Structure 1
């Protein structure tokens, strides 16, 4: 199957858009140290899209080979006393294993094997980091424990500020090790990378989602950090990576311990629920989902940054309109709206040359991450 690079920066295998999206995510991670362009192109060229073998199996096999090469280089460098080289290779191995596990129709055994190898490389990276990181378990449900990676700030005396980086349900926390950890460390902040996928030993995410709401994990994560001696519990921020739900906004709406938050602020929920309120329904007949979403997002008290790519499914004008609801009734509210390819502040849109920052896009994510972490640092500095 031929590949094509179009002017918007998307790599297309015409019959496998899912793999095209994953490949462009991988390319975007190269600028943060999660891959190398040469390894990406070489590995992709070996994938057999038209042969007798399953395309998904070929994809898994080739990315696993590349991941294991990086893993071997990391182990060799660590044994020879070269921790910097070991760290960079383990991070790339983490990302390549994540890509190997991506195909939706991949057999469960192969996916679980790739995820297990990815987590082993992540643990090796933490052991080699300075200061050393930790694999932590966070109690949430009696049958479901969250797993996280805690990367402490460099020693500075008192408890350090922390940013919680959490992905949308289904996204893996390992991506934050190369995507966001450096930005936190350079600004004197510790980082807790966590997801809602659990520790792999209990129930599946699908089983948990049937009976529990993922936003309820936010309080458990905050409880864990507040109990650490090396954390300043007055300076804990949260960053939600992704815009396919508002579960983080729902989680912080009634937990007022956060010093700052970067998320959609409930905008996605508000946008979706607005379609569930038929105009001909008499007001008061039953709860209005749009008003309920308004109530939740207006309950967020901490400084809030709404950061979005302009091509994430909502237009800039629509995002600005919904964000104005966040400010309604509280003019002293600290709400910042930033849209790549133009910024919005207090409802005014300014055009800019920055490229979009959506997940799965081959774009300039560094600019977005620098802006986000500068904003977080300014809010939790004191």
Structure 2
């Protein structure tokens, strides 16, 4: 992985994730270079990411004044990514909520000036309203749709920025959505994660079935990082899912976090505070107990839908062995495990070091399994 901060995996992974979301290295370097030789300081970190976002917002406003709407939209999108990724490292109780709300405002500006429609939706669920962005396929007929789930609290805005137009170019609509334990439900209403992700998934599919522009017989699901647990769990218990992709293999998330905590590993992308916040517990001990429910043994065996698992050979966050175990356990007749090597690139966690090959593979795989009509058909 490109280690912008040679001694800080956590901060370096944020830089790489920013590039994955469309960030520009030069823009980030102007604000982060002073932190490379300093000890980890959250105040300086926050100031740098707010500064780089604010600069892009000001330049976007100038673009709008000059009549350059698409250029402004691109700058607002990068600024939203900078705000969200800077905020992601901040623990609750700081300025985290204010930073998150500012990022939502910036993303609203980006979506207003995007080159294709982005529809804001709200899905009723047992955990309350789940906000999402539906990016409709360019089709006059009901289109296949992929539900896109986060990992350990990557928001729906970042999910959109990771995938952008790759699905709609292939005739597939995509719903990037905040679910229990991530994004708005967690930050604004304190809704923690839950192991039975088939529950919010059922509510989301119920919503999709009400839409005339969605072919409810062709619904797929994609999960990134911890979404590599959420998506297979949902597919295993929700037969209306017709194809499943785990963008990062998961096997036993509880055992993984127990090892992380016992070794105090530095190879995690966020601080240890994140687990208890997302699990909705007061202590780390309670969080470690609750996360033991997040395992796929006994779950993967129930999956019969087409399945794709992607993983990096040099993934320091989750071992490729976990992806292999999940793949071997799956009952799908049509299943594929794609492990990216260091020689070809994409060997890090969720291929964040070189994500384009993974993005293209995921979109092509869904297009074939969901029988999508591309713009060229």
d(CA) in 1 for partners of 2:335, 2:324: 11
Relative distance call for 1:375 and 1:245 in structure 2 (3 A) is closer
Partner SS, residue 129 of structure 2: strand
Asked if 1:22 corresponds to 2:10, the answer is no
Relative distance call for 1:337 and 1:124 in structure 2 (3 A) is same
Relative distance call for 1:122 and 1:315 in structure 2 (3 A) is closer
How big is the shift at 1:245?
A: 5.9
Asked if 1:158 corresponds to 2:136, the answer is no
C-alpha deviations, 1:309-358, integer Å up to 9, x for none?
1233666566445422224xx7xx1111111118xxxxxxxxx6233141
- What corresponds to 2:241 in structure 1? 258
Gaps of at least 5 residues in structure 1 are: 1-7, 276-288, 343-351
Asked if 1:135 corresponds to 2:135, the answer is no
- What corresponds to 2:361 in structure 1? 371
d(CA) in 2 for partners of 1:318, 1:310: 11
- What corresponds to 2:199 in structure 1? 216
Asked if 1:45 corresponds to 2:37, the answer is no
- What corresponds to 1:353 in structure 2? 344
- What corresponds to 1:118 in structure 2? 103
Tell whether the 8 Å contact from 1:71 to 1:93 is kept in structure 2 after alignment. yes
C-alpha deviations, 1:110-129, integer Å up to 9, x for none?
21121111111222222223
Moved more, 295-304 or 240-249: 240-249
Tell whether the 8 Å contact from 1:9 to 1:362 is kept in structure 2 after alignment. no
Relative distance call for 1:79 and 1:212 in structure 2 (3 A) is farther
C-alpha deviations, 1:285-331, integer Å up to 9, x for none?
xxxx99x944321222221111111233666566445422224xx7x
C-alpha deviations, 1:136-188, integer Å up to 9, x for none?
1111136x32111111122x211122121111242212112221022112212
Partner SS, residue 184 of structure 2: coil
- What corresponds to 2:276 in structure 1? none
Tell whether the 8 Å contact from 1:122 to 1:174 is kept in structure 2 after alignment. yes
Q: How does 1:177-326 map to 2 (within 5 A)?
A: 177-196=160-179, 197=182, 199=184, 203-205=189-191, 208-209=192-193, 213-243=196-226, 246-263=229-246, 267-269=250-252, 272=255, 293-312=296-315, 319-320=323-324, 322-326=326-330
- What corresponds to 1:89 in structure 2? 75
Tell whether the 8 Å contact from 1:166 to 1:239 is kept in structure 2 after alignment. yes
- What corresponds to 2:336 in structure 1? 336
d(CA) in 1 for partners of 2:99, 2:119: 21
How big is the shift at 1:248?
A: 2.2
Gaps of at least 5 residues in structure 2 are: 259-291, 373-377
Asked if 1:58 corresponds to 2:44, the answer is yes
Partner SS, residue 263 of structure 1: strand
Relative distance call for 1:120 and 1:265 in structure 2 (3 A) is closer
- What corresponds to 2:63 in structure 1? 77
How big is the shift at 1:13?
A: 5.1
How big is the shift at 1:58?
A: 1.5
Relative distance call for 1:129 and 1:65 in structure 2 (3 A) is same
C-alpha deviations, 1:241-296, integer Å up to 9, x for none?
114761221122121111211027985139949x9xxxxxxxxxxxxx99x94432
- What corresponds to 2:264 in structure 1? none
d(CA) in 2 for partners of 1:369, 1:338: 12
